[in-house]
Amino acid sequence: MMERMKYPIRSEEYELYELVGQGVSASVYRARCIPLDEVVAIKILDFERNNSDLSNISREAQTMILIDHPNVLKAHCSFVNGHDLWIVMPYMAGGSCLHIMKSAYPDGFEEVMIATILREVLKGLDYLHHHGHIHRDVKAGNILVDARGGIKLGDFGVSACLFDSGDRQRTRNTFVGTPCWMAPEVMEQLHGYDFKADIWSFGITALELARGHAPFSKYPPMKVLLMTLQNAPPGLDYERDRKFSRSFKQMIAMCLVKDPSRRPSAKKLLKHPFFKQARSQDYIVRKILEGLPTLGVRHQALKDKEEDLVAQKKMPDGKKEEISQNEYKKGISCWNFDIEDLKAQASLIPDNEDTVLGKDLDRCQDYLFKLDNLQDKMPEGTNFFTSCSLKYDDDMESDGMLHDKSSLVSSSTQTTYLQRARSNESESEAKAAGKSDQNVLQNGLQFHGNGVEHCSSGSYEPDNNVKHVDNVPVQTHHEQKSSTSSCSSDILSSAKGESLNQQSQLLNLENCNGGVSCTVNDTTVEAMPKATKSSVSSADDLDDKSKPPLVQQRGRFKVTSEDVDLDKALPPIGLQKSLSLQVIPQLSMTSAPLSVDATSNLSACSIYPQLHSILQANIIERDNILSMMKQLSAGDLPISDASSNHSTEGASLPLPKIITEKSLLEVAHEREKELIQDITDLQWRLICMQEELRRLKARNA
């Protein structure tokens, strides 16, 4: 209390020096407290630029002021200055461990150093947990080093109090940076999470310090989410990790267990043999800080480097990609949605995405300015993302980058939302029981500006099991929810006499161009936000009628609808797969490819339905042909004179009917998978580019 009194709470009493750090929400300056003649750091948060409300921000400051532990960064005082909140803190001359790594240790620290740093971090975490706080943003960027080698855990921007109610846990609408450090249970938001989420982040941070970057840091956030949920937990298992001791690997493995209840507490972890090698603060000074340029200089150098990266856009492609990839590996630009870099990222992903990527990205780029215009026309404060829900389906998960292919489900499963079995055990149990992962994946994730929204219970489709005919293995509703799949079954019946149009009245594509009058299951697009809910819940209702509307906000996430004015949001047809899955466009059997003229007249929000309808038309055509071929070979169709000759021929030369049917349908399924994959990729690209737009706009603003 005494200490707080002595730091003045007027900006005039501080002299700001150079910028030493920049986070998502704040800039940090070295400064001098004039009356005390003491160097301090001042973190300046602009309320207006941050989504957080005042109470959240000031709570961060309050938490920091109340902190009293050598390994947790406290605040001396905080005060409002115009639109800004100033938080006065001790100056940590070494900067963050991330900073240090970027400047001098791009491949990470050696093990003794890591043990020395992490032991201090654990002490800080133990203190926070003991006092009922979850830090929620443990990462190298938030481990600060002072001039004497002291280690402090900083940045309470997203910390939550364990004893808070759900409401008070709502500290931020958006999650920060990449979700590389985020525990699976935090991503899922199924059963909430506790301080063990910090232990997961601690394990990821250990990997980050060992390699110079966090696992998956080269991937875009959505992929990181999927990979964290889908893949086995990361560890020190690469060839290059051989230099690390077994106890280090074991310590990390203990932290990175998907079941939070099986992770050790910070206190317990402190007793792990790995930390026996930890040295004193002096070791940090000698080994790391000595010879390091000042923080301001390093910060400037890193900024220059990033600007260079931007300038490299003018370089030849090959060189540019090489550098971009290297920089990604070093973790310099984890949150980079530059189109070119996206391509570079994609090239790092060992799947067949890039075949889709290149051409689709270019195409999507054409749409971007339209999206931009659209965004401008949207009601103030509405983000395109807010109105578009992205669903990740198994096709995304089934891309080649996922190690755990055995857990993949049918690529036509479009309806499943992200949900993950809480432990590896349950995964293997599910597999052993022959369950497909679609049982495991149920929740939705939405990007909300920088953030992720999590939609609970995301099923969205009538429970009409679709069965494939004949020799094709029967797939249940869960495996066969995509409209494309239902198209294939529909078209088979259509070939038996039903008109396609009769089946396809749900969407008038022409009306959809303006994005305002698509009729979808009797619901007009004007009412789409609600329709989305209702169409979603129409199926949802089967499972869970009592659940509150989608989108809540919890901590860094949103999980209920209360914060989103859905009525104001743009009809989310652009990326609303749940919607699109229920529509079959009114198309002739021969749909023309999307011509340049046609695309130039498209409004942004009709892009997706158009693409989707083209896809469906192709599938319809293909399935129709298949169906007819099948029936021809079976001799079912009314036979004209000409064809009767053929059939006579067929009688003398019996067709390998079953083989033909099967192989044709297999080919059809393959194609269907590819097309679905294309859609998913397109959706994702659109979202990435929208995010880039948003980021650029924010920067310009």
Is 320 labelled as part of a ligand binding site?
no
Minimum distance, C-beta of residue 46 to ligand ATP, in the bound complex (Å): 10
The SS3 assignment for 26 reads strand
Minimum distance, C-beta of residue 62 to ligand ATP, in the bound complex (Å): 15
Out of 26, 97, 115, 284, the only residue in the binding site for ligand ATP (CB under 6 A) is 26
Q: Is residue 95 a contact residue for ligand ATP (CB under 6 A)?
A: yes
- Which of these ranges, 24-32, 103-111, 415-423, 691-699, lies near ligand ATP under the rule CB under 6 A? 24-32
CA distances, 32 to each of 35, 89, 354, 428, 608 (Å) = 9, 11, 51, 57, 54
Nearest to 540 by CA among 611, 463, 604, 483: 463
| Closest CB to ligand ATP among residues 175, 392 | 175
The SS3 assignment for 179 reads helix
| Closest CB to ligand ATP among residues 38, 340 | 38
Q: 638-667: which residues touch ligand ATP (CB under 6 A)? A: none
Q: What is the four-CA torsion angle of 52, 54, 60, 65, rounded to 10 degrees?
A: 160
| Closest CB to ligand ATP among residues 137, 399 | 137
| Closest CB to ligand ATP among residues 177, 585 | 177
Q: Per-residue string for binding with ligand ATP, 146-175, x by CB under 6 A?
A: --------xx-x------------------
| Closest CB to ligand ATP among residues 142, 442 | 142
Cα separation of 441 and 538, whole Å? 19
The size of the interface with ligand ATP (CB under 6 A), counted in residues, is 27
Q: Is residue 25 a contact residue for ligand ATP (CB under 6 A)?
A: yes
Q: Per-residue string for binding with ligand ATP, 372-401, x by CB under 6 A?
A: ------------------------------
| Closest CB to ligand ATP among residues 39, 348 | 39
Cα separation of 338 and 331, whole Å? 15
| Closest CB to ligand ATP among residues 173, 627 | 173
Please state whether 521 falls in left (phi above 0), alpha (psi between -120 and 50) or beta.
Answer: left
Out of 8, 15, 17, 24, the only residue in the binding site for ligand ATP (CB under 6 A) is 24
- If 0-12 CB within 10 Å is exposed, 13-18 middle and 19+ buried, where does residue 382 land? middle
Q: What is the four-CA torsion angle of 396, 397, 403, 407, rounded to 10 degrees?
A: -150
DSSP 197-246: HHHHHHHHHHHHHHHSS-TTTTS-HHHHHHHHHHSPPP-S-SGGGGGS-H
Out of 7, 14, 43, 215, the only residue in the binding site for ligand ATP (CB under 6 A) is 43
Minimum distance, C-beta of residue 295 to ligand ATP, in the bound complex (Å): 6
Q: At what angle do helices 657-700 and 339-348 cross, to 10 degrees?
A: 140
Six token digits for residue 308: 């260079």
Six token digits for residue 319: 């060189």
Out of 78, 116, 142, 488, the only residue in the binding site for ligand ATP (CB under 6 A) is 142
Nearest to 411 by CA among 470, 496, 352, 333: 352
| Closest CB to ligand ATP among residues 99, 622 | 99
Beta-ladder partners of 80? 85
Q: Is residue 99 a contact residue for ligand ATP (CB under 6 A)?
A: yes
Q: Is residue 28 a contact residue for ligand ATP (CB under 6 A)?
A: yes
The SS3 assignment for 696 reads helix
Out of 96, 552, 560, 677, the only residue in the binding site for ligand ATP (CB under 6 A) is 96
Q: Which residues are catalytic?
A: 137
The residue with tokens 């099991």 is: 465
- Which of these ranges, 14-22, 318-326, 412-420, 457-465, lies near ligand ATP under the rule CB under 6 A? 14-22
CB 145 within 8 A of CB 100: yes
Q: Is residue 571 a contact residue for ligand ATP (CB under 6 A)?
A: no
Minimum distance, C-beta of residue 52 to ligand ATP, in the bound complex (Å): 10
Cα separation of 625 and 627, whole Å? 5
In 497-567, alpha helices (H): 500-503, 528-544
* Side-chain-facing half-sphere of 130: CA atoms under 13 Å: 13
- Which of these ranges, 6-14, 90-98, 111-119, 483-491, lies near ligand ATP under the rule CB under 6 A? 90-98
Q: Is residue 451 a contact residue for ligand ATP (CB under 6 A)?
A: no
Minimum distance, C-beta of residue 55 to ligand ATP, in the bound complex (Å): 17
- Which of these ranges, 85-93, 221-229, 429-437, 474-482, lies near ligand ATP under the rule CB under 6 A? 85-93
Q: Is residue 21 a contact residue for ligand ATP (CB under 6 A)?
A: yes
Beta-ladder partners of 507? 585
Cα separation of 217 and 383, whole Å? 25
Q: Is residue 41 a contact residue for ligand ATP (CB under 6 A)?
A: yes
Q: What is the DSSP letter of 286?
A: I
Q: Residue 333: CB partners within 8 Å, gap ≥ 6?
A: 306, 309, 324, 327, 341
| Closest CB to ligand ATP among residues 92, 374 | 92
Q: Is residue 124 a contact residue for ligand ATP (CB under 6 A)?
A: no
Minimum distance, C-beta of residue 126 to ligand ATP, in the bound complex (Å): 21
Q: Is residue 144 a contact residue for ligand ATP (CB under 6 A)?
A: yes
Residues in contact with ligand ATP by the rule CB under 6 A: 20-26, 28, 41, 43, 73, 89-92, 95-96, 99, 137, 141-142, 144, 154-155, 157, 176-177
Residue stretches of the annotated binding site = 43
